[in-house]
Structure 1
Amino acid sequence: MSKISTKINVGNFFEDFSIGQKIIHPLPRTITEGEVSLYIAFTGSRFALHSSDELAQEIGYNERPIDDILMFHLTFGKSVQDISLNAIANLGYAEISFPNPVFIGDTVRMESTVIGLKENSNGKSGVVYVHSIGYNEQDKEVLNFKRWVMVHKKDKETMIGINEVPTFAESTPIVEDINIPEIDMVDTNATGGEYFFEDYEVGERLNHPEGITIDDSDHTLATKLYQNNAKVHFNDHMMKSTPMGERLMYGGIVISIARAISFNGLQNAQWVYAINSGAHCNPTYAGDTIYAYTEVLDVIDHSRDDLGLLRLRTVAIKNQKSDEIESPKGEDGKYLKNVVLDLDYTVIVPKKKTKKQ
């Protein structure tokens, strides 16, 4: 009889985590043109800054930075085998910031610290809270975020009794020194949008008309691209025996699709400054069609005279058009069953003075 090897990584279970535990994630990733092209193929993203070197150079970059959300996925994916390989679901995010841009040819890596643990009352699982930081090859921070994920327990019969839940800031602070070049000129013919910072107002709602249907091939290939090897996204054989009955789509793909859909009405919101909080309200599966609407929560002026910030709330809905829903929650305060994402984030938008005449 063969000897069973102990070299196989089976991932961490809830009991394997401890408060203050530091994890250096493997598999640093050098970003290539291929990732950028595939991201457009999987999401349909149309933001011009990430599509055109020429436009990026007009704004002040030497070359186009990669999409902030793509960078999030490629960096976030490093943490999966240590944090969420045995996850039931990724539950939410907070305080996500993008301190420095990332370009083709940069290499990203990630480290995490466990900041909270909460055992579920059923004794079968628990929620792990982590603070993760991504770095480029020059050790500059490119991503800083907190997230929480529900993870299986190994011993479902023994209660641990831990309940240490961290607190999170309501929104990511606005810094004085925003790390993007001074914006001299924005060509609206190139960006596809005529609206600037001054054109938006608090309470405004944008019902984005487009819907995007996500196939099995789309979400599977995208998740592989990010080297996210969580079992719930790939192992159809395993998932058929669960209450879900099929593979669960990685929630980050829903974020990407919602961001891509939001282009219509927010064409000049080229930069994601921060993600303040996010909730994956219900699961998404292959074959679902995603729609979205965006509400303007705040209009934030900045000392720079070339840009301002909008705090937005984008709600993604499956299989229902954005103008057919008034609120993501019902009278009981719970999310409606077809609401799959509630994302509070901040974008940077040029001011009118930068419009090409």
Structure 2
Amino acid sequence: MNKTNKGNFFEDFRIGQVIRHATPRTVTVGDVSLYSALYGTRFAVQSADSFAQAIGYPCAPVDDLLVFHVVFGKTVPDISLNAVANLGYAGGRFLAPVYPGDTLTAVSEVIGLRENSNGKSGVVYVRSTGFNQDGIEVLDYVRWVMVRKGDVNAPAPETVVPTLPAALAPDALGSAVPVLDVANWRNDLSGSTARWGDYEVGERIDHVDGMTVEEAEHMLATRLYQNTAKVHFNQFTEGQGRFGRRLIYGGHVISLARALSFNGLGNAFQVAAINGGRHVSPLFAGLTVHAWSEILDTQPLPGREDVGALRVRTIATKDQPTSNFPGKINDEYDPSVILDLDYWVLIPR
């Protein structure tokens, strides 16, 4: 009987395989405080019980991306312990609010497989779902990850690449937000006067600030989510690898970019969906993250007069301020770009 877990390799996955992930995780106010300390997030609804209660929440909900990372972390020992890199996301929906004291679990289904041409690795597509202690779905999303083969001679599976939506429709948004009393939304406390009607399609926002990542911070963050991917922790092995050092977890970059976006999107209090995302290049400790955003769409929510949706594309860079909006020209990204994220946020009307 093998008592240790070496993780799944590419050849271990099968289409339709369902994996229930170990270690339920109760999210506490301590986790919320540590998350704030790591990223400096300032959105008022998640920061203050008093603000959240005034507009209709029972208390301040847990930051949406903290929920995402906890659910993601559950999946790592089974999906990406032997990953080369996490590649992207699509179809992510935040389905119910999470509050301190809620316990999260996760289940994944393999929906796609594609071996790489080098025969040494392949891409695994999974749909992962997070549940609370009552069995209510709080989050689901698709991600694809490049995973090493344990046996390079193992036969390639039949290639199956799932068809994924370019973006979620507005009627799929908003279930994680109760009907709000926006008359009690105080702009002086939220830090922004801009509401849904103040943003225009095509508008670009330089979030101005930068944040340098330290080695201890990104390792502490990844451990907070119980994410066990070797590439983030083990300098003994990673020092002998492709980059010679530990990779920063891609979700760390997403949270940094989201926190930086407060300067310009301060009232965009909830991430409602992740339409798609790509980790364009790796980030390492000692580099400084900047971010800018473009408004791709503005949509009312069916039956809701309290909040509207903004479809936002946020680009994060390393060691490159974003006043000139570095991004993608034709098919090539600016060398500084590390993240290209397409998502919906909700904002009071």
- Which category of TM-score, normalised to the shorter sequence, fits these structures? over 0.9
Name the structure 1 match of 2:197.
Answer: 198
SS at match of 2:320: coil
Deviation (angstroms), 1:350: 0.4
In 1, are the aligned partners of 2:292 and 2:325 still within 8 Å (CA)?
no
Deviation at residue 177 of structure 1 after TM alignment: 7.6
* Equivalent residue for 2:111, pick from 100, 115, 119: 115
Report deviation, 1:341. Answer: 0.3
Q: Does the alignment pair 1:224 with 2:220? A: no
Q: Give 1:347's aligned amino acid.
A: V
User: Which of 80, 83, 93 pairs up with 1:84?
Assistant: 80
Does the residue aligned with 1:209 lie in a helix, a strand or coil? coil
Q: Answer yes or no: is the 8 Å Cα contact 2:44–2:190 preserved in 1.
A: yes
Residue 183 of structure 1 deviates from its aligned partner by 2.0
Partner Cα separation in structure 1 for residue 157 and residue 14 of structure 2: 13
Kindly report the root-mean-square deviation, in angstroms, between the aligned alpha carbons of the 2 structures. Answer: 1.2
What residue identity is the alignment partner of 2:345?
V
Aligned to 2:145: 149
Q: Does 1:101 align with 2:97?
A: yes
Which amino acid is the alignment partner of residue 182 of structure 1?
Answer: V
Structure 1: runs of 5 or more not aligned: 352-357
Secondary structure of residue in 1 paired with 2:263: coil
- Deviates further, 165-174 or 260-269: 165-174
Partner of 1:342: 340
Helix, strand or coil at the partner of 1:277? strand
**1:284 counterpart residue number:** 283
Q: How does 1:302-313 map to 2 (within 5 A)?
A: 302=301, 303-313=303-313
Structure 2 partner of 1:354: none
Cα deviation, residue 297, structure 1: 0.1
Partners of 1:12 and 1:337 in 2: CA distance: 33
Q: Does 1:208 align with 2:207?
A: yes
2:297 matched to 1:301? no
CA shift at 1:37, angstroms? 0.4
Letter in 2 for 1:307: V
Task: State the distance in 2 between where 1:243 and 1:130 align.
Answer: 26
Matching residue of 2:179? 182
Aligned-partner Cα distance in 2 for 1:202–1:329: 18
Offset at residue 174 of structure 1 (A): 2.2
CA contact (8 A) 1:59 1:181 kept: no
SS at match of 2:332: coil
Tell me which residue corresponds to 1:75.
Answer: 71
Alpha-carbon distance in 2 for matches of 1:6, 1:334: 46
2:261 equivalent in structure 1: 262
Deviation at 1:49, TM superposition (A): 0.6
- Percent of residue pairs identical: 51
Q: Which amino acid aligns with 1:348?
A: L
Alignment of 1:40-79 (within 5 A): 40-79=36-75
Q: How far apart, CA to CA, are the structure 2 residues paired with 1:124 and 1:234?
A: 23
User: 1:210 aligns to what SS in structure 2?
Assistant: coil
Q: Partners of 1:15 and 1:161 in 2: how far apart?
A: 8
C-alpha distance in 1, partners of 2:205/2:259? 14
Alpha-carbon contact 1:110-1:133 (below 8 Å) kept: yes
2:236 alignment partner, SS class: helix
1:10 aligns with 2:9: no
How many Å apart are 1:181 and its aligned residue? 2.3
SS at match of 2:165: coil
- State the aligned residue count: 345
1:199 Cα deviation after fit: 0.3
Instruction: Give a deviation string over 1:134-193, Cα, whole Å, max 9, x none.
Output: 000010000110000000001124441532111101112222783322222210111011
Mean Cα displacement is larger for which, 157-166 or 25-34? Answer: 157-166
In structure 2, the partner of 1:245 is 244
SS across alignment from 2:221: helix
Q: 1:160–1:177: structure 2 CA closer, same or farther, 3 Å change rule?
A: closer
The offset of 1:90, in angstroms, is 0.3
| Distance in 2 between residues matched to 1:121 and 1:182, nearest whole Å | 50
Matched-pair contact (CA < 8 Å) for 2:206–2:325:
no
Q: In structure 2, what is the Cα distance between the partners aligned to 1:334 and 1:156?
A: 31
Aligned to 1:217, the other structure's residue is in SS state helix
Return the alpha-carbon distance in structure 2 between the equivalents of residues 345 and 240 of structure 1: 35
CA distance in 2, matches of 1:7, 1:78: 19
Structure 2 residue 321 is the aligned partner of structure 1 residue 321: yes
Verify: 1:139 aligned to 2:135, yes or no: yes
Tell me, yes or no, if the aligned pair for 1:123 and 1:159 is still in contact at 8 Å. Answer: no
Consecutive unaligned residues in structure 2, runs of 5 or more: none
Partner SS state of residue 312, structure 1: strand
- Secondary structure of residue in 2 paired with 1:6: coil
Taking the aligned partners of 1:312 and 1:341, their CA distance within structure 2 comes to 13
Q: Distance in 2 between matches of 1:84 and 1:137?
A: 25
